[in-house]
């Protein structure tokens, strides 16, 4: 059985309860008081000490409100023609997204790991065994989502464990438990995929035709990595959420590189041997 | 002018505007999240580029001395230097690599498993094999040189260690180590490295051979060792290798395209253009022509060696800039650009 997340960004209110719950449950050290000065978001990105991160996206593409705006309609998420020719897009101007490790099906971090510290556990989640990791840091640039980083003063790499410990006790992960709007759903991957498709269909019916599921091999990228166990319902281009539209498997060409290197070795050998000629 | 004031008057006349003003928010024009890098750069510090350099030298020295041996060119000084160099580089390399680990005391976990897909794992095993082989070969050399005294043990070592055979066996492993320093970088999500997967290994290997030839020539000159022919061959091989290296760097730049920009940034251009291309390739190449003098050879060797070091630093630092640039990553991780298993190049 494979478990994963479905994060529905359309109902996220940006409360960051998931970040707090994750930090508390997993006893992750603080990141320090660093403010970007760019937005209300003060944790900036996923890292070895931030396993859930809520992005605050101020969206410029949406039209500004003009005309005689009906604030009630705005609050109620209405998309019909508004009195006075007002244009609005209730969800568009401000979007939140709780980001997390994607638990890739063909995880680049796991393929990079030279110690075998990164494994797939019995829930088919990508898990770093902290007692094995020796902090080589090779998984860090391998991850196509910038999820992992080395924790200073500890030396090892950390990321979301999908609350391995809680799952073993039959509990859902701390972030999903804490989420007040059910933006973060936890469950079986297949089941969540169905839920995601239904939700996107509903959104399309409501007029949000831009909604799509990110993390399936068919839609929204995830080219060489076979999809993600953590999926997202997005309302905009993946890049807006700091996700690549077509992430790739960095190890896809290791064999190819070995071939080109062998050819180069042959050529260099021939060149040096040629120099020995009298 | 009139339009603007008309517009603002209209706004004041009961029209509502959202609190957010896209046109004044310059940050939001490009599609990324406040310029925060979407991928993380490697933390690797100075030990890693230095290891890349040393590993390359080791591979090249093994290539040259083994070929000399196989082709019947017997030069005692060359063989000796080659064997001791292999040992020293294989002592330094693991030290540098372990030093850079977040948990150095757990380095042996690299030996828990062998993963063909992980260049770092392959490299660890290659270093283990090559390191042990060069240790054996160097032990035999030390016994022959009388460094271990004239006792039973050194007699035994001389008799039991088939140094020439081991040297031939070590060659492919050494060449793998030399090229894998480049492949290791290309198997990441960093655009400038990943894009150039086909030429990273070859370029690092060519640069490694070039620095190794310079190193051998330098040591032989400094010690006033080596036969005349050895010097002559080294010089000729170095000229050819520099040509191969230049061609590979040119091919890499073409392949990297716009993702190669970091190599020419303000911080890295001095290392790459000045240190690698001009001082490390063009200058030694020029010095290798014309009359052969000791001074000129030494200068050429020193320049080529430092150029190789500058190259390693330039590529590693350029990777950091590339990883930190959201535009570079997002434009690379698009269906049309990204490297897929079925792509030929
Ligand atoms: S998102 Fe990154 S850290 Fe998570 S499984 Fe994929 S490669 Fe590994």
CA distance A269 to chain B (A): 7
Q: How many Cβ atoms are within 10 Å of B241's Cβ, its own excluded?
A: 28
- Give DSSP secondary structure letters for B246-303: HHHHHHHHHHHGGGGGGGGSTTTHIIIIIIIIIIIIIHHHHHTSSS--HHHHHHHHHH
d(CA B163, CA B184): 30
The rounded mean pLDDT for chain B is 90
Q: How far is the CA of A14 from the centre of ligand 1 (A)?
A: 23
| Three-state secondary-structure class, residue A71 | helix
Q: Is A145 in the pocket of ligand 1 (CB under 6 A)?
A: yes
B291 pLDDT more than 50: yes
B302 pLDDT more than 50: yes
CA distance A27 to chain B (A): 20
CATH topology of domain A3-247: Alpha-Beta Plaits (3.30.70)
B17 pLDDT more than 50: no
pLDDT band at B309 (very low <50, low <70, confident <90, very high): very high
Question: A44 phi and psi, to 5 degrees?
Answer: 65, -55
* Minimal Cβ distance to A64: which of B17, B39, B43: B17
B5 pLDDT more than 80: no
Q: Which residue of B has its CA nearest to A99?
A: B38
- Eight-state DSSP code of residue A64: P
Residue A235 pLDDT: 87
* Minimal Cβ distance to A38: which of B34, B41, B110: B34
Beta carbons of A264 and B116 less than 8 Å apart: no
B10 touches chain A (CB under 8 A): no
Question: A96 phi and psi, to 5 degrees?
Answer: -120, 155
B106 pLDDT more than 90: yes
Q: Which residues of A touch B172 (CB under 8 A)?
A: 265
The rounded mean pLDDT for chain A is 88
Residues in chain B: 345
pLDDT band at A67 (very low <50, low <70, confident <90, very high): low
- Eight-state DSSP code of residue A250: G
A9 pLDDT more than 60: yes
d(CA B18, CA B21): 7
Q: How far is the CA of B120 from the centre of ligand 1 (A)?
A: 18
Pairing mode, strands A126-128 and A149-150: unpaired
Q: Which residues of A touch B73 (CB under 8 A)?
A: 276
Beta carbons of B31 and A157 less than 8 Å apart: no
For A214-244, how does the pLDDT look when each residue is reduced to its tens digit (9 = 90+)? 988 765 455 668 889 999 999 888 998 999 9
Q: Which residue of A has its CA nearest to B14?
A: A68
Q: Is A159 in the pocket of ligand 1 (CB under 6 A)?
A: yes
Q: How far is the CA of A108 from the centre of ligand 1 (A)?
A: 7
For B207-234, how does the pLDDT look when each residue is reduced to its tens digit (9 = 90+)? 999 999 999 999 999 999 999 999 999 9
Residue B343 pLDDT: 77
Q: How far is the CA of A125 from the centre of ligand 1 (A)?
A: 10
pTM equals 0.90
Helix or strand holding residue A176 (H, E): helix A174-178
Q: Enter the tokens of residue A133.
A: 């990791």
Question: What is the share, in percent, of chain A residues with pLDDT greater than 90?
Answer: 69
Report yes or no: A133 and A117 within 8 Å, Cβ to Cβ.
yes
Pairing mode, strands A94-100 and A3-8: unpaired
Beta carbons of A136 and B120 less than 8 Å apart: yes
B118: CB partners within 8 A, 6+ apart = A111, A112, A113, A114, A138, A251, B187
Distances, alpha carbon A34 to alpha carbons A145, B37, B147, B326, in Å? 21, 16, 59, 20
Domains assigned to chain B: 40-332 (1.20.1630.10)
For B138-150, how does the pLDDT look when each residue is reduced to its tens digit (9 = 90+)? 999 999 998 888 7
């Amino acid at each position: 059985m494979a478990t994963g997340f479905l994060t529905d960004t359309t109902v996220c209110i940006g409360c960051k309860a998931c970040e707090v719950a994750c930090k508390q449950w997993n006893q992750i050290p603080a990141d320090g008081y660093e403010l970007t000065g760019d937005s209300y978001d003060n944790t900036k990105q996923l890292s070895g000490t931030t396993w859930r991160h809520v992005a605050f996206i101020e969206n410029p593409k949406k039209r500004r409100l003009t005309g005689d705006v009906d604030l009630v309609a705005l609050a109620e998420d209405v998309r019909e023609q508004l009195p006075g020719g007002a244009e609005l897009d209730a969800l568009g101007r401000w979007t939140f997204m709780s980001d997390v490790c994607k638990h890739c099906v063909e995880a680049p971090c796991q393929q990079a790991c030279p110690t075998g510290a990164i494994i797939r556990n019995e829930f088919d989640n990508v898990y770093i065994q902290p007692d094995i990791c020796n902090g080589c840091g090779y998984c860090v640039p391998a991850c196509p989502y910038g999820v992992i980083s080395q924790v200073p003063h500890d030396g090892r790499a950390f990321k979301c464990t999908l609350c391995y410990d809680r799952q073993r006790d039959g509990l859902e992960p701390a972030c999903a438990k804490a989420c007040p709007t059910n933006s973060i759903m936890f469950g079986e991957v297949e089941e969540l995929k169905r839920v995601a498709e239904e939700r996107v269909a509903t959104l399309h019916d409501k007029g949000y035709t831009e909604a799509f599921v990110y993390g399936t091999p068919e839609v929204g990228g995830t080219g060489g990595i076979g999809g993600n166990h953590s999926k997202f319902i997005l309302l905009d281009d993946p890049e807006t959420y700091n996700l690549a539209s077509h992430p790739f498997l960095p190890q896809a060409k290791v064999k190819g590189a070995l071939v080109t290197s062998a050819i180069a070795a042959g050529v260099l050998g021939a060149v040096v041997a040629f120099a020995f000629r009298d | 002018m009139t339009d603007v004031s008309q517009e603002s008057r209209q706004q004041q006349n009961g029209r509502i505007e959202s609190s957010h003003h896209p046109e004044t928010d310059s940050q939001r024009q490009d599609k990324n999240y406040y310029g925060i890098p979407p991928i993380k750069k490697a933390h690797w510090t100075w030990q890693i580029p230095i290891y890349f350099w040393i590993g390359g030298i080791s591979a090249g020295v093994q290539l040259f001395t083994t070929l000399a041996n196989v082709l019947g060119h017997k030069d005692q000084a060359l063989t000796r230097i080659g064997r001791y160099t292999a040992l020293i580089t294989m002592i330094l390399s693991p030290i540098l690599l372990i030093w850079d680990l977040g948990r150095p005391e757990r380095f042996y976990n690299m030996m828990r498993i062998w993963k063909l897909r992980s260049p770092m794992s392959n490299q660890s095993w290659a270093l283990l094999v090559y390191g042990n082989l060069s240790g054996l070969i160097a032990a035999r050399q030390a016994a022959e040189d009388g460094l271990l005294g004239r006792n039973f043990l050194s007699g035994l070592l001389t008799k039991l260690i088939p140094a020439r055979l081991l040297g031939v066996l070590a060659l492919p492993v050494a060449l793998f180590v030399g090229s894998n320093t480049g492949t290791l970088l290309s198997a990441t999500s960093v655009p400038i490295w990943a894009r150039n997967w086909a030429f990273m290994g070859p370029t690092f290997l060519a640069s490694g051979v070039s620095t190794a030839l310079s190193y051998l020539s330098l040591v032989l000159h400094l010690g006033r060792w080596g036969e005349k022919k050895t010097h002559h061959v080294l010089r000729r091989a170095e000229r050819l290798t520099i040509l191969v290296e230049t061609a590979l760097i040119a091919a890499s730049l073409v392949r990297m395209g716009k993702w190669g920009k970091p190599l020419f940034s303000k911080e890295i251009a001095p290392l790459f253009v000045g240190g690698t291309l001009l001082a490390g390739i063009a200058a030694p190449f020029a010095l290798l022509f014309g009359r052969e003098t000791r001074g000129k050879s030494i200068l050429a060797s020193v320049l080529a060696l430092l150029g190789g070091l500058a190259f390693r630093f330039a590529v590693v630092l350029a990777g950091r800039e590339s990883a930190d640039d959201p535009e570079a990553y997002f434009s690379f991780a698009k269906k049309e650009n990204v490297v897929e298993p079925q792509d030929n190049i």
